[in-house]
């Protein structure tokens, strides 16, 4: 379970930012939304969903990408690197000085019922700082920490394996990543949490998500759940199957992907995304009729790519990141998908979703009940230097009955584009020059 995420000098976030999923006193009882969670020594009230809104290019997607960056660095820094491999961070690029400054990532999470804090600071070449603490009895206790390669401290838990891990540590590799390879238990817990959480669903990995959905359709324990979500969306689909492409097509596909990414055929470390061919079956008077991917609407394709990740997240109780959730989806589908996370009956394992969207319906109040509580809504806005500022709706202390969608559109909370009718008119002025 994610409690908070923090970063600095990461993508469009030049200044420190924090996304908190701790519930506040607001929103009671307008939605069923907080998850009471008792850890050792403390009772936490945690949100199952957070929605981020803002203008185009304000940094909504970058927020999710920064979280994905942290996950990727943890999972890859030791396994896929050598002492000369650059760290794959993305600093703030609109300032030449920021490109040389380090980037900081930090998470506050619950792992195996215990609150953990983990973070690191890195530049392109080395891990400058890294730290991990937990709260087994409600008090902070060291797991491990380091300052570069000069000072590495190992806590009491599994200390002998921790000391062995120190000997394998590289300047550009995280201790969490190195320790996962040596079976150092504190590092393994963090590594496994990162592997199973902060999973990003974006347009670029839609085909992989399609493959997951169809693979789950072919397993008896998942099949009915996936089919029910397909049918509930009223798309006319009754079944979906994965069709294996022939060897010649697969080989040409791999060659094209390597060419586009400037990767040689001999590079075995490059992972080629799978080629996925899917048949969706629509009901007709003559029975199910198969359609190919290119015969479907974009909304159908988008929904298919969400079903697998959403069901897997709800089953595992993990954290899912959804980029542009409302892209090509009807607002009714968006609301139902979010409701699956908000309702304890459909989310018994305390899964969480963090999404960004433009759709105003996620802000509106219907039948005296909001889809999101007031402490679940966040905004992104550009600063004067082009950087992103992330801030919560609660900064404005909104009233319970406040028309949040209307006030947002009128700019009450910021995070809206500054557009000029005159500039638009001038752009399409067809008078002869």
Measuring CA to CA, which residue among 396, 391, 331, 395 is closest to residue 363? 331
pLDDT category of residue 26 using cuts at 50, 70 and 90? low
Residue 40 in contact with residue 138, Cβ under 8 Å?
yes
Residue 32 has pLDDT above 60, yes or no: no
Tens digits of residue pLDDT in 65-111: 999 999 999 999 998 878 899 999 999 989 999 999 999 999 999 99
Q: Strand pairing partners for 49?
A: 353
Give the pLDDT confidence score for residue 30 in this predicted structure.
59
Residue 245 has pLDDT above 70, yes or no: no
Average confidence (pLDDT) over 187-210: 92
Average confidence (pLDDT) over 384-408: 90
**Residue 335 in tokens:** 């609301």
Tens digits of residue pLDDT in 116-146: 999 999 999 999 999 999 999 888 999 999 9
pLDDT category of residue 13 using cuts at 50, 70 and 90? very high
Q: What angle do CA 296, 357, 16 make, to 5 degrees?
A: 140
Q: How many CB atoms lie under 10 A from the CB of residue 159?
A: 12
Give the pLDDT confidence score for residue 49 in this predicted structure.
94
- In CATH terms, 1-197+318-433 corresponds, of 3.30.70, 1.10.3470, 3.40.50, 1.10.30, to 3.40.50
Q: Describe the crossing of helices 175-182 and 185-196 by its angle, rounded to 10 degrees.
A: 110
| Residue bearing the bigger pLDDT, 161 or 43 | 161
Average confidence (pLDDT) over 5-11: 97
pLDDT category of residue 287 using cuts at 50, 70 and 90? confident
Question: What does the alpha-carbon distance between residue 304 and residue 212 come to, in Å, rounded to a whole number?
Answer: 10
Residue 212 has pLDDT above 90, yes or no: no
Question: What does the alpha-carbon distance between residue 388 and residue 247 come to, in Å, rounded to a whole number?
Answer: 46
Give the pLDDT confidence score for residue 230 in this predicted structure.
84
Question: What does the alpha-carbon distance between residue 302 and residue 41 come to, in Å, rounded to a whole number?
Answer: 43
Question: What does the alpha-carbon distance between residue 293 and residue 280 come to, in Å, rounded to a whole number?
Answer: 8
Average confidence (pLDDT) over 386-394: 94
Give the pLDDT confidence score for residue 388 in this predicted structure.
96
Lowest mean pLDDT among 9-23, 194-208, 277-291, 298-312: 277-291
Tens digits of residue pLDDT in 317-337: 999 999 988 777 888 888 899
Task: Sketch the domain layout of the chain as residue ranges.
Answer: 1-197+318-433, 203-317
Share of the chain above pLDDT 90, in %: 49
């Amino acid at each position: 379970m994610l409690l908070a995420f923090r970063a600095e000098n990461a993508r469009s976030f030049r200044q420190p930012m924090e996304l908190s999923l701790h519930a506040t006193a607001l929103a009671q009882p307008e939605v069923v939304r907080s998850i009471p969670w008792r850890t050792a020594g403390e009772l936490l009230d945690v949100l199952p969903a957070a929605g981020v809104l803002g203008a185009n290019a304000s940094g909504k997607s970058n927020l999710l990408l920064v979280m994905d960056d942290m996950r990727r660095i943890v999972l890859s820094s030791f396994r896929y690197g050598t002492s000369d491999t650059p760290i794959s961070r993305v600093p703030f690029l609109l300032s030449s000085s920021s490109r040389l400054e380090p980037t900081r990532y930090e998470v506050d999470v619950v792992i195996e019922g215990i609150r953990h804090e983990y973070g690191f600071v890195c530049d392109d070449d080395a891990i400058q700082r890294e730290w991990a603490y937990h709260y087994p009895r409600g008090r902070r206790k060291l797991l491990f920490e380091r300052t570069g390669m000069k000072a590495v401290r190992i806590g009491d838990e599994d200390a002998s394996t921790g000391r062995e891990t120190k000997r394998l540590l590289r300047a550009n590799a995280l201790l969490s990543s190195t320790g996962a390879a040596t079976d150092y238990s504190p590092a393994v817990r963090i590594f496994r949490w990162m592997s199973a959480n902060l999973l990003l669903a974006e347009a670029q990995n839609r085909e992989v998500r399609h493959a997951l959905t169809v693979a789950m359709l072919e397993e008896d324990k998942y099949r009915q759940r996936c089919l029910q979500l397909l049918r509930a969306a009223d798309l006319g689909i009754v079944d979906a199957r994965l069709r294996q492409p022939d060897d010649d097509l697969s080989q040409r596909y791999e060659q094209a992907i390597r060419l586009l990414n400037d990767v040689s055929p001999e590079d075995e470390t490059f992972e080629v995304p799978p080629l996925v061919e899917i048949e969706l079956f629509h009901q007709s008077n003559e029975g199910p009729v198969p359609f190919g991917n290119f015969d479907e609407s974009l909304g159908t394709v988008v929904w298919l790519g969400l079903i697998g990740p959403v069901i897997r997240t709800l089953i595992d109780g993990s954290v899912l990141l959804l980029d542009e959730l409302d892209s090509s989806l009807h607002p009714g589908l968006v609301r139902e998908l979010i409701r699956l996370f908000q309702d304890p009956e459909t989310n018994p394992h305390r899964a969480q979703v963090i999404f960004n969207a433009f759709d105003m319906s996620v802000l509106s109040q219907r039948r005296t009940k909001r889809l999101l509580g007031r402490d679940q809504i966040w905004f992104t806005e550009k600063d004067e230097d082009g950087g992103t500022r992330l801030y919560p709706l609660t900064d404005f202390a909104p009233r319970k009955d406040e028309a949040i969608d209307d006030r947002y559109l009128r700019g009450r909370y910021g995070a809206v584009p500054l557009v000029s009718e005159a500039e638009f008119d001038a752009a399409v002025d067809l008078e002869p020059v």
